């Protein structure tokens, strides 16, 4: 199946630091999404990107949809302990009359107070 | 409140037994999906369904089966043919064309 390459796999940072993670693909996507997953729970949508080049913010989070439509990044500024979790990028694949999300492998974020 | 419910949260089964995971949504979404999550591997698509009485295999369908008899329900059966069934299973639903994806809170299956 199609895959998204997400990096880094894990990050250990100090509270207050900025964080950056990214996803690349060999395929073109029309929509990029970023999710956060807390331990033992389902992913929750953070940011959705619908246009190439689009830059969108949600509080301390900023994400961009790459111009080539094959990549996206997520930045978190001034990290806090509750930012801990796994962050996933996802590309929406549209086909015929349906659609499905393809996920990256995830970036596990640890924040040291 | 509308949402998607997976039950049970934790499930233990003996090797060789089939087990069915429940997924119910009251969001009036047409499409439903099952993903499997293993550490370091992200979410992999098992099966998906765009409408009632229709479903397609995802990337890792072997050893799994599904049904979609009602719009609200998309149960997943993990059969004895699944060689490594211990994992975290996530159900999701969406409106047309995959927009508005919403996830359940997952079921952790442990086979001993």
What is the tens place of the pLDDT at every residue in B7-53?
999 999 999 999 999 999 999 999 999 999 998 778 999 999 999 99
Written as one string, the DSSP assignment of chain A is ----EEE-SEEEEETT--EEEEEE-SS--SEEEEEEE-TTS--EEEEEE-STT-EEEETTEEEEE-TTSSEEEEEE-S--GGG-EEEEEEEEEEETTEEEEEE---EEEEEE-
**pLDDT value of residue A2:** 65
Residue of chain A whose alpha carbon sits nearest to that of B10: A40
CA distance to partner chain B, nearest, from residue A54 (Å): 18
B73 inside 8 A of chain A by CB: no
Is the pLDDT score of A112 beyond 90? yes
Please tell me the distance from the alpha carbon of residue A50 to that of residue A92, in angstroms, as a whole number: 10
Average pLDDT, chain A: 93
Contact predicate B47/B68, CB 8 Å? no
Q: Say if strands B76-78 and B19-25 run parallel, antiparallel, or are unpaired.
A: antiparallel
Q: Which of B41, B90, B96 sits opposite A42 (nearest CB)?
A: B90
CB contact under 8 A, A105 and B42: yes
CA distance A76 to A83: 9
Tell whether B27 lies on the interface with A, counting CB pairs under 8 A.
no
Cβ-in-10-Å burial (0-12, 13-18, 19+) of B95 comes to middle
Q: Mean pLDDT over residues A25-51, rounded?
A: 93
Spatial contact of B9 and B108, defined as CB atoms under 8 Å apart? yes
Q: Is B1's pLDDT higher than 70?
A: no
What band does B108 get if pLDDT is binned at 50, 70 and 90?
very high
Tell me, what's the pLDDT at B98? 76
Contact A76, A83 (CB under 8 A): yes
For residue A23, what pLDDT is reported? 97
- Decide if B74 contacts B68 (C-beta within 8 A): yes
């Amino acid at each position: 199946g199609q895959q998204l390459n997400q990096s880094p796999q894990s990050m250990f940072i100090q509270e207050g630091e900025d964080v950056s993670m990214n996803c690349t693909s060999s395929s073109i996507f029309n929509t990029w999404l970023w999710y956060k997953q807390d331990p033992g729970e389902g992913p929750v949508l953070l940011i959705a990107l619908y246009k190439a080049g689009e830059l969108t913010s949600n509080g301390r989070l900023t994400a961009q949809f790459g111009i080539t439509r094959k990549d996206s990044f997520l930045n978190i500024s001034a990290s806090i302990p509750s930012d801990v979790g796994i962050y996933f990028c996802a590309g929406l694949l549209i086909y015929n009359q349906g659609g499905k999300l393809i996920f990256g492998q995830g970036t596990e974020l640890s924040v040291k107070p | 409140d509308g949402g998607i419910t997976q039950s049970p949260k934790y499930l233990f089964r003996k090797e060789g037994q089939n087990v069915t995971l429940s997924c119910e949504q009251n969001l009036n979404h047409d499409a439903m999906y099952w993903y499997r999550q293993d550490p370091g591997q992200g979410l992999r698509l098992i099966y998906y369904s765009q409408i009632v009485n229709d479903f397609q295999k995802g990337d890792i369908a072997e050893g799994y089966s599904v049904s979609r008899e009602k719009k609200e329900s998309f149960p997943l059966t993990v059969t004895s043919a699944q060689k490594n069934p211990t994992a975290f299973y996530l159900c999701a639903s969406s409106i047309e064309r995959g927009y508005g994806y919403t996830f359940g809170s997952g079921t952790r299956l442990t086979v001993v």
